[in-house]
Chain A
């Protein structure tokens, strides 16, 4: 069964007719040609498909496109502005936070989400007490646990996110 939906993807309204079974990830990649989010596990376990939906980081593989009709979706390709790449993207480059790069668009979107969550004062499992969370190594690792990197670039990823969050 088909549905007509509109997604605002990286600042641009995109109308598309999707089968109701289409995930947001497949709609972005296969129907709209937005290939920044990657299909890794396709079961919400690796984080490579992470995008920001209405400003919140989610895995696009476990979201049905039809259920996101009208949503604002930001992928790693839409993070840049007129000044160039997003500060998180620049920090990933500066800190060697990638090797093959497959997980990087998801890592970057997730990191942008993490920074907003920390700014909003959201606690994590390793936050002690009621104080505002600080982006320690332990906080970054806990908050980024939904993004796997098979190349093992974690030290650089942690350093990059701490640098932007400092």
Chain B
């Protein structure tokens, strides 16, 4: 591990000023991802600015009926928060489906959102990886790619974003409050993440030194919501496919809905085509399947991840059945 200096920040502005002016500096919060990367040689900052003491662990009501979540709020505290459980259960479900009890006790809200891909090549400092070392290549395209992207990937990077919380935050239409050297700006979480394109080094639109200080949720969406995660074991594993869904019905018709896939792309994947197909219609089994198919039309599979297309489709249809009370029907193979 490369030697680094450590500083405990006492106010957010000076923390941002310090990191923004030093390309080798990094923020440290819960450390569950960064400390791992320091050991692996994936990250090698020369200065860590610890933002744990910035009193950013408050969950407060907003005047518009929404909720402001301090960036330092631990995953376990947020998942157990009575207001979150009562009004944003999607968030609680997503958080509790991720990591382990020990990790959720340390990991923060913003740290979870900014965690990096679990692609095995990215985490192996001896392997080429365009995300870690631009221009070195992407062994996953031809290699072990069972966990990799089927939507929005590029020839340079087929990594997926691992956060369950991020998918739920996109479905909840959350906004990140971001402090930069020139002041504060607000970034909808739906627009926070990038597709890899020809610069996979950047996961998000944030500039170096920008710090998420809070996440704001709008007033509850209403209706019913569900986070379902499909993985290789029952607990403590990353998603192969996940679905964050919120559906508001009125008189048997889908009034509005939000559908987001996790585990399929470099960012949480808002299933806008599927939403458009169902919004304003009376859901049927056939309509649910058609909506899922419409979203996955552009899926491009690799040698090891073709299973994700039917898995994503079936998971989405299954969650939608539950939320719209559509009874399952056997599929006609003809």
> Interface residues, chain A, CB within 8 Å of chain B?
1, 3, 19-21, 23, 42-44, 47, 50, 56-59, 61-64, 66-67, 110, 113-114, 117, 120-125, 130, 141-147
Contacts and interface: CB of A to CB of B under 8 A. Distances in A.
A23 B103 CA distance: 15
Contact of A62 (B52, B96, B106): B106
B102 A63 contact: no
A21 B1 contact: yes
Given A23-B35, A64-B31, A114-B101, A123 B235 contact: no
Nearest to B237: A145
A58 to B, nearest CB: 5
Of B6, B8, B80, which is in contact with the most chain A CB atoms at under 10 Å from its CB?
Answer: B6
A129 B234 CA distance: 19
12 contacts: A23-B35, A44-B102, A57-B102, A59-B32, A59-B102, A62-B35, A64-B6, A122-B79, A125-B93, A141-B234, A145-B101, A146-B99
Nearest to B40: A43
A124 B32 CA distance: 20
Given A1-B6, A20-B5, A57 B35 contact: no
Interface of B: 1, 3-6, 8, 28, 31-32, 35-36, 38-39, 48, 50, 52, 76, 79-80, 85-86, 92-93, 96-97, 99-103, 105-106, 234-236
Contact of A120 (B1, B80, B97): B80
Given A66-B6, A125-B93, A50 B28 contact: no
A66 to B, nearest CB: 5
A123 B80 CA distance: 6
A126 B42 CA distance: 34
A64 B236 CA distance: 23
A20 B4 contact: yes
Of A19, A58, A147, which is in contact with the most chain B CB atoms at under 10 Å from its CB?
Answer: A58
A123 B28 CA distance: 27
A47 B3 contact: no
A98 to B, nearest CB: 19
B102 A146 contact: yes
B6 A125 contact: no
Contact of B80 (A23, A50, A122, A142): A122
A3 B80 CA distance: 35
Contacts of A147: 100
Given A44-B36, A62-B36, A64-B28, A20 B3 contact: yes
B85 to A, nearest CB: 6
Contact of B3 (A21, A59, A144): A21
A141 B233 CA distance: 12
Contact of B102 (A20, A23, A47, A142): A47
Contact of B6 (A20, A23, A59, A117): A20
Contact of A123 (B6, B39, B79, B105): B79
B38 A21 contact: yes
Nearest to B50: A67
B238 to A, nearest CB: 12
